[in-house]
Amino acid sequence: MEFEIVAVLFGMAFFCELVDSTLGMGYGTTLTPVLLFMGYEPMQVVPAILLSELVTGAFSAFAHHKAGNAFFNFRNDTEHRIVKKMGKLGYLPKSNDSKIAYVLGLCSLVGAVGAAVFAVNLKAYLTPIIGVIVLSMGIIILVKHKTRSRFSWYKVTGLGITAAFNKGLSGGGYGPLVTGGQILSGVNGKSAIAITSMAESFTCLVGVITYLVMGTDINWSIAPPLLVGAVAGVPLSALLVKKVNTNKFTLIIGIITTLLGCLTLYKAFS
């Protein structure tokens, strides 16, 4: 691969990951269509993006934790009623941010595996549906960005499955659904971004493993520059999130989510 192409891929991954780790969305959603437009094949693009976000998602969550944007504690909450009831088989992380990330990660087992198996048959139908969902979320966030919604595990679970399915299918669309959905479920905007990064990492892990287990013929040539560029964009994003007012951040997320929903619908019907 020529140096100029490597530099371009590095730069695009750096910028998209900076946006993604700062707003909780935008890496795969933006990068996938751009790389396809550049002439790369889907089996080059989607697995490479999943691999890079597997690494950067975990790194981003760690950076947000260190910056104080979220609190992750994955030690077992032995005092929780579910853990006590299940005995030695029971496990739930201690902090609430970790619990949400854990539930979203479990949803990935259903969503990402299902997406990889049915990618060819369902892709044509999923894009417009996701576009409508993302657009609806963006509008609701804009209307309710000054109010505090009641937290709901049912909403988080449903959104986690839907978002993981879309992620495994297209390489993008996870952040807008999960970040926006958490906010509508009552999660703080900054925490929602960090939780999304953590959960998305596990979703990508499940997706990559599923593609490999299925024996898919994957071209990994663009994976290294995307991975290095994305990792380089993470530290700056955590500092940016820390300095922005939470209410303003929620408003920004609402605007970006609405725009991404419009772009997704435009792409689906153009």
pLDDT tops 70 at residue 185: yes
> Is 70 exceeded by the pLDDT of residue 168?
no
Q: What mean pLDDT is predicted for residues 242-266? A: 76
**Nearest-10 crossing angle of helices 153-170, 174-184:** 170
Average pLDDT over residues 246-263: 76
pTM of the model: 0.76
For the cut 80, the answer to whether the pLDDT of residue 141 exceeds it is no
CA distance 4 to 73: 42
- As a whole number, the mean pLDDT across the chain is 81
Of the candidate ranges 122-126, 173-177, 210-214, the one whose mean pLDDT is the lowest = 122-126
d(CA 165, CA 113): 8
pLDDT of amino acid 186: 80
Percent over 90 (pLDDT), the chain: 21
Query: 76: helix, coil or strand?
Result: strand
Query: 261 — phi, psi (to 5°)?
Result: -65, -45
Taking Cα atoms as reference points, which of 185, 228, 235, 203 lies closest to residue 65? 235
pLDDT digits (tens, 9 = 90+) for 28-63: 777 877 787 788 887 788 888 989 999 999 999 999
pLDDT recorded at residue 70: 92
In this prediction, residue 122 carries a pLDDT of 55
